[in-house]
Amino acid sequence: MPDADRSKTRLRGLAIHLVVYFVLGGISIVVNILVTPQTFWFVLPVVGWGAALALHVAYVMGLFDVFLDK
């Protein structure tokens, strides 16, 4: 796969990941406020998923290419 196609595929995957992260993160905040406003449990999944998202960004930037076969 040429580098341009690989980059487009990686960016498309990251864009989908970002949209799903923000939509589901927003839904979890709303559910948290409506169901248990005294406990802010939404922070755990948002931060945990944010860490996975940060790794995805690093992958898209090519920081893991040294470990992958080209």
Closest CA to 26 of 49, 58, 59, 56: 49
Average pLDDT over residues 8-12: 95
Confidence at residue 4, expressed as pLDDT on a 0 to 100 scale: 86
Residue 70 lies in a domain: no
Instruction: Render pLDDT for 22-63 as a digit per residue (tens, 0 to 9).
Output: 999 999 999 999 999 999 999 999 999 999 999 999 999 989
Tally of domains in the chain:
1
pLDDT at position 1: 59
Residue 70 pLDDT level (bands cut at 50, 70, 90): low
For residue 69, is it within any domain? no
List the domain range (segments joined by +) for residue 31.
3-61
**CA 70, CA 23: separation in Å to the nearest integer?**
34
Residue 10 maps to a domain: yes
Is residue 41 included in any domain, yes or no? yes
The pTM of the full predicted model, rounded to 2 decimals, is 0.85
